[in-house]
Structure 1
Amino acid sequence: MNLRKLSIDLFLYGINSVKPENLIPEKISLKNSHIEIEGDKYPLKKGIYVYGSGKASVEMAKSIEKMFLDYIIDGTVVCNYTQKLKKIKVIEGNHPVPDEKSLKAGETLLKEISSLKKDDFFVYLLSGGSSALIEKPIPPLTLKDLQITTQILLKHSVPIEEINIIRKHLSMIKGGRLGHSTKAKGIVLVISDVIGDDLFTIGSAPLYYDPSTYKDAYTILKKHNIFDDLPQNVKKVILKGTKGKIKETPKKENPNIKHYIVGSNIDALKKIKEKAEKSIKTYIMTSQLKGEAREVAKAVVSIGKEIKKSSNPFDPPVCLLFGGETTVTVKGNGKGGRNQELCLSALIEIKDTKNIVLLSGGTDGIDGNSEDAGAVVDSSSYEKAKKMGVDLYKYLENNDSNSLFTKTGDSIKTGYTGTNVMDITIMMIGG
């Protein structure tokens, strides 16, 4: 059994299983001129408006058009690429740092959704990436203020749930503000890209609500020692908010809008397990993997080494599945992302140990500032690096995993996948 090839095949299969074209028809249906989802029914006689934002929004919109084309009146979705659809407009925003396109996209969605009438019905397609793709800053904040703040948050490896608390308190559309701008009824179909499928965090919750406060945002920034590094306008808004001089984000859900999670990391892991077990014993270890990528790698590989040495807790050959999202504290100026950094750290642990293969990749197909989804490593990767005379530790310290794996041929390239359910890590331990 070629464990390396099997791990790559399973990773690609897992991505395919959570593409909107496969998820949407499983979770939602059209019956007697009604949308049916999780036992709820919504009449479509007057037609529907379709909106959305996120890395999966275009593919989600395609699926909705395929199922409900005759009922769609109009619609707009925002993604990090454009594509022509039949009835739904696609406009482009930027990710992971908002730009002018993101501001235009946010303004467009706010205008269109807030103009809907009380008896209108809409479907909103939400997925990861929305936080940067759509934006409308609270005055006097500028785009530059938001860009600098986002870059600081990302560089300091602030957890995504905390980043989004900051974002929500600088925005006129996040944290439920977009949802509270309309009188229309609607449903939100969500593909989750966060640990625990937390609706408060996914896409910074534009149509949900927000229990966090300006004081929480201030506390987070002080905890990470970055408040003083922020632009003056951002500090002013946060401080004014803590004093009640800026209106808080909505603390209750709009009763006319209901959220449904239609895809998540655990869905992908379950599909991979189902397929993998035709070839090898497989266990889902967690869908909530988090922490510094290089440290997580050490823990994951230590499990593989224990299995190889003592058959504890499983007899080899075995496949272990992990899902979630790690972080990287950027100190160097290299190219890569959390998945490739995890793989590089794992490679240092594996070295020339035979029959341990580790793959880690992002389901959206893009890892960090590289164009690759991730990488796959084993003892052959170590041998290649050794022959080239490269210092693995130097690449790790420079956060330059992509450059290394481009040289060794261990990177995995998928291009944009049209979905986003965080990351998948697969470890194979041979007999």
Structure 2
Amino acid sequence: MRRDAAEIFREALFEMLPGRAVKRSLANARLRDNIILIGIGKASWTMAKAASEELKERIVCGAIVTKYRHSGGPLSGIEIFEAGHPLPDSNTLKATERILEITRKAGRYQTILFLVSGGGSALFEKPAPGLSLRSLSDVTSRLLLGGADICELNTVRKHLSSIKGGRFANHCMPAEIFQITLSDVLGDKLDMIASGPAAPDPSSSQEALSILMKYGIPLSTNLESAIRSETPKSLDNVSFEIAGNIAGLCRAAKKAAEKRGYISKIVTESLEGEARLTGAAVAEHSKGEMNSPGSGKAKRCLIWGGETTVKVKGSGNGGRSQELALAAAEKLSGSKNIVILSAGSDGTDGPTDAAGGIVDGLTWKKISAAGREPMEMLEDNDSYNALSISGSLFKTGPTGTNVNDLVIALGENL
């Protein structure tokens, strides 16, 4: 079943690959010639490559910024930058300035093809006047460590930036923007994906202030001044296309599981909450479904899609998908008929080289047998090393896409 789970994940991911998604979106798009291509996010290189193949000489220039080691090489006529994620760095600023320079020259009769994917919030950034990159990164780090969800995080980011929350679209006027999006935000909220550089922002400065207060982040004079500057609430030069999202990934996983003979069900496409608690709940739900009276010996597959958070209390290494898997392993301990895979669609879970973890009823005991205390490792947020000890890390390498996380449970009633 471990092999089946891995194959189902990879097959589902293939359907959400950015190249396929972008080409589907461009098939019926009506774009002017003299296109400026801009891409931000972890999937931007793959998206830009597909757009270049489709549009060819209609693209006159462009620039993209992606995460380190996520570029696949040169693209004709397009400048490629790599920068920091999940925190912006000096290369983020350089890439952003170049994108602003290119788009500043856009005219009324040009189209800016804006390719947006997860990770864009960190990779595309220019701090609001009076703020430094360091102060911005400090706020982001505090929110991440405090367990803020993506909507809280991006609400603050929008109000501390010169380009987020619709401000990039204002910068590009009078040119038209056609945005193709790979959504990593539940509900496909355009103002939240990459913090909505080209989307009207429904959030208020007061909401952003309330979030800072909730997580105990002190307000300097410059920080308060920046966050009180309101974002654009309407824009008339932008159109949008959602090319891929977690719902599509879940459907593709269901189809792949059914092809392998599993009776399959999507439990939810909006999985949220603290990873540790969610992992335990996923395992308990799986045991109930797989071992329910009358379920027979049929093979079963349960699918969850979404994005959890980690409240960092320890000093270990890991990510939300790995922490979810490790927490699930505790509840599965001793089970003989269930495997759970938890992985990020981008292939990089947290600051690690793993996409997530794949666990079963032996995982927890293997960690103990290696002389480590698995509960202590979970408390220390050290899911990466715990799963490594037990041979339970799931690695794909960077996938080139980013549409949230997928959890797959496979089982059979014994």
| Shorter-chain TM-score range | over 0.9
Q: Which residue does 1:80 correspond to in 2?
A: 67
Distance in 2, Cα, partners of 1:393 & 1:164: 32
Which stretch has the larger CA shift, 279-288 or 331-340?
279-288
Q: Does 1:208 find its partner at 2:208?
A: no
8 Å CA contact 2:12, 2:256 repeated in 1? no
**Pairing partner for 2:210 from 190, 207, 219:** 219
Distance in 1, Cα, partners of 2:234 & 2:296: 46
Percentage identity across aligned positions?
Answer: 38
Distance in 1, Cα, partners of 2:179 & 2:82: 20
8 Å CA contact 1:156, 1:330 repeated in 2? yes
Q: Does 1:288 find its partner at 2:270?
A: yes
Q: Does 1:368 find its partner at 2:355?
A: no
Q: Deviations over 1:192-238 (max 9, x none)?
A: 001111111000000111111111111111123x232x555324433
8 Å CA contact 2:364, 2:374 repeated in 1? no
Distance in 2, Cα, partners of 1:416 & 1:160: 21
**Pairing partner for 2:248 from 244, 248, 267:** 267
TM-score, reference length from structure 2? 0.95
Q: Which residue does 2:226 correspond to in 1?
A: 237
Q: Which residue does 1:199 correspond to in 2?
A: 190
What amino acid maps onto 1:173 in structure 2?
I
Distance in 2, Cα, partners of 1:90 & 1:321: 36
**How much has 1:405 moved relative to structure 2?**
1.2
Seen in structure 2, the aligned counterparts of structure 1 residues 233 and 261 have a Cα distance that, compared at 3 Å, is: same
Q: Which residue does 1:122 correspond to in 2?
A: 112
Q: Does 1:419 find its partner at 2:401?
A: yes
**How much has 1:119 moved relative to structure 2?**
1.1
Q: Which residue does 1:357 correspond to in 2?
A: 339
Distance in 2, Cα, partners of 1:252 & 1:206: 13
Distance in 2, Cα, partners of 1:227 & 1:314: 53
8 Å CA contact 1:145, 1:233 repeated in 2? no
**Pairing partner for 2:95 from 105, 121, 124:** 105
8 Å CA contact 2:344, 2:405 repeated in 1? yes
Structure 1 unmatched runs, 5+: 30-35
**How much has 1:382 moved relative to structure 2?**
3.0
8 Å CA contact 2:297, 2:412 repeated in 1? no
8 Å CA contact 1:49, 1:72 repeated in 2? yes
Distance in 2, Cα, partners of 1:217 & 1:256: 26
Distance in 1, Cα, partners of 2:45 & 2:294: 45
Q: Which residue does 1:148 correspond to in 2?
A: 138
8 Å CA contact 1:187, 1:257 repeated in 2? yes
What amino acid maps onto 1:421 in structure 2?
V
**3-state secondary structure, aligned to 1:260:** strand
Q: Which residue does 2:15 correspond to in 1?
A: 17
Q: Does 1:54 find its partner at 2:41?
A: yes
**How much has 1:315 moved relative to structure 2?**
7.4
Paired residues, what number? 408
Q: Deviations over 1:319-346 (max 9, x none)?
A: 0010000000000000000001001100
Distance in 1, Cα, partners of 2:256 & 2:380: 37
Q: Which residue does 2:150 correspond to in 1?
A: 160
**How much has 1:28 moved relative to structure 2?**
2.4
**3-state secondary structure, aligned to 1:283:** strand
8 Å CA contact 2:366, 2:389 repeated in 1? no
8 Å CA contact 2:304, 2:406 repeated in 1? yes
Distance in 1, Cα, partners of 2:52 & 2:360: 43
8 Å CA contact 1:20, 1:419 repeated in 2? yes
Q: Which residue does 2:84 correspond to in 1?
A: 94
Distance in 2, Cα, partners of 1:175 & 1:237: 13
**3-state secondary structure, aligned to 1:250:** coil
**Pairing partner for 2:320 from 306, 321, 338:** 338
**How much has 1:94 moved relative to structure 2?**
1.2
Distance in 2, Cα, partners of 1:387 & 1:64: 51
Seen in structure 2, the aligned counterparts of structure 1 residues 67 and 311 have a Cα distance that, compared at 3 Å, is: farther
Distance in 2, Cα, partners of 1:48 & 1:314: 58
Pairwise CA RMSD of aligned residues? 1.6
TM-score, reference length from structure 1? 0.91
8 Å CA contact 1:336, 1:370 repeated in 2? yes
Distance in 1, Cα, partners of 2:276 & 2:157: 27
Seen in structure 2, the aligned counterparts of structure 1 residues 102 and 342 have a Cα distance that, compared at 3 Å, is: same
**How much has 1:64 moved relative to structure 2?**
0.4
Distance in 2, Cα, partners of 1:367 & 1:159: 16
Seen in structure 2, the aligned counterparts of structure 1 residues 231 and 407 have a Cα distance that, compared at 3 Å, is: farther
Q: Which residue does 1:32 correspond to in 2?
A: none
Distance in 2, Cα, partners of 1:427 & 1:78: 35
8 Å CA contact 2:139, 2:217 repeated in 1? no
Which stretch has the larger CA shift, 339-348 or 84-93?
84-93
What amino acid maps onto 2:126 in structure 1?
K
Seen in structure 2, the aligned counterparts of structure 1 residues 84 and 304 have a Cα distance that, compared at 3 Å, is: same
**How much has 1:15 moved relative to structure 2?**
1.8
Structure 2 unmatched runs, 5+: none
Q: Which residue does 1:186 correspond to in 2?
A: 177
Which stretch has the larger CA shift, 181-190 or 326-335?
181-190
8 Å CA contact 1:356, 1:378 repeated in 2? yes
**3-state secondary structure, aligned to 1:89:** strand
Distance in 2, Cα, partners of 1:398 & 1:186: 45
**How much has 1:316 moved relative to structure 2?**
4.6
